[in-house]
A = this chain, B = another copy of it.
Amino acid sequence: MYKDATVAEINDVMEKAWKAFHQFRKLSLKQRAGLMRAIATGLENAPDELIHTAMRETNLPEARLRNEKGRTVFQLTSYADACEKGEWLEISIDTANAERTPPKPDIRKMLVPLGPVVVFGASNFPFAYSTAGGDTATALAAGCPVIVKAHPAHAGTSEFVAGIINEAVKKLNLPDGTFTHVHGAAFEVGKALVTHPYTKAVGFTGSYLGGKALFDWANERKEPIPVFAEMGSINPVWLMPGKMEQSAADIAKMYAGSITLGVGQFCTNPGLLIGIEGEALQTFINTLGEEIKKIAPGTMLHPGIAKAYGENKAKALSQQEVATVAESATAPAANQGVPAIASATGQAFLNNPVLHQEVFGPYSIVIRCADLAEMLQVAEKIEGQLTATMMATEQDILDNEALVDAVKNICGRFILNSVPTGVEVALSMQHGGPFPATTDSRFTSVGADGIKRFARPVSFQGWPDSLLPEELKSSNPLGIWRTVNNEMTKNAL
């Protein structure tokens, strides 16, 4: 339906973005925030056709999509607030001292935008992590023009949202090239965008194979650029003995919901549940199995994802050491994902890397460890994760320091006694984790700190106040928190 962008078109787009960058980066924080709020308003006021297009393209239910649209609006407006407050600029100022030998110069540091950012949207979040999603919002806040490559599975939704963004850009008289939208089902489009010399950073949410390809292309460039790829996770959960003793069945019920939420199509879906052999774990497995049987299959985002889920689940279940605990009792329609729970021993997990692989969909495997020592071994063997969860009493935590430390070391978000699904949009959120969960564990893709991905520090040395950017002027006209001579303050110098 939509034609892939040609190499010539991509060159044009990048030339335009580069030219726009020269003006866009000089907008005040207020002006950038203004653009973000205008996009939010456009989204809020969009006709129902937008939701209907998304429903048709993604099979996601209306309520979920309306919620997700609301989340996207909240992201845009809350990141706009953060953009304007300017704390993300990490300003520090050291004043001159002419008496010192040698004289100490005046130095003032703040973040400046990297340049045009290419954003690849997520199949599972047509609004919140796609065209006007978190990557776009934070890149604009940082002062970077954005080029979105539409996800081919919801290209119409993407086109619709791009129209809203373009309208906001136009209404505010911002430079042509501040935002561009291209289509590309073929990987060559993505490659051309990532390897273009005017591209200065990349945001991506999707599969390991996709994210890793972008990362490698970016690093092979003459000028390597940062790639922020969020590539999925199995989000391990440690079921600690004290807690299990108290409430194995309740935990199982809670997790049956989390595993199957949204047909399991969340990057924070709990795909690995680690317990210790025994009565409590058996209760947990039995209850979880009973619950899963009751949960009907759901239609997945698109036929490709439904097919991959079926194949990956079959591969996992076919491993010699893996037993099927339960599947949904309801027969699936076409393109539906059937909830399923498997189990295997700790030794099987330690020895078979297939069990570490994400099965994107309503699937989870229970690992039955022999003891706490094996639980620790599992923690030390697991690759980097977006989240890790402890279901534990306070005593469980205090008694297992080495395990708690090992689990903390592999994740970006460390949860106690809850489920990993549900990613709060807040400054304190870390959505990112050690490789292979993401390509750069030092940054988050959710929350206003995501702005920092697309900026770098510049120190101004010896500039008079009149020539400094507003953010660095002695009077602090924008009222930003700044570190002045090593003290945090909002005061003027």
Contact = CB atoms under 8 A, between A and B. Distances in A.
Interface of A: 22, 25-26, 81-82, 85, 87, 90, 92-94, 102, 104-105, 107-109, 112, 114-115, 215-216, 219, 223-226, 383-384, 394, 397-398, 402, 405, 408-409, 411-418, 422, 424, 426-430, 432, 434-436, 439-442, 444, 449, 452, 455-464, 466-467, 481, 483, 486, 488
Contact of A94 (B397, B417, B426): B426
A429 B94 CA distance: 9
A45 to B, nearest CB: 24
A262 to B, nearest CB: 14
A426 B107 CA distance: 9
A154 to B, nearest CB: 25
Contact of A397 (B104, B415, B467): B467
Nearest to A111: B442
Contact of A459 (B219, B430, B481): B430
Given A226-B440, A418-B461, 8 more contacts: A87-B483, A90-B449, A94-B427, A94-B428, A108-B428, A415-B462, A416-B460, A430-B458
Contact of A412 (B108, B225, B459): B459
A93 B422 CA distance: 17
A315 B414 CA distance: 56
A473 B94 CA distance: 30
A223 B436 contact: yes
Nearest to A466: B394
B429 A459 contact: yes
Copies in the complex: 2
B435 A223 contact: yes
Contact of A456 (B25, B441, B452, B486): B441
A397 B460 CA distance: 14
> Top 3 closest A-B pairs, CB basis?
A430-B459, A107-B428, A441-B456
Contact of A224 (B415, B422, B435): B435
A213 to B, nearest CB: 13
Contacts of A405: 22, 25-26
Nearest to A219: B219
Contacts of A435: 223-225
A82 B487 CA distance: 11
B107 A424 contact: yes
A384 to B, nearest CB: 7
Contacts of A462: 415-418
Given A461-B413, A467-B394, A418 B455 contact: no
Contacts of A467: 394, 397-398, 416
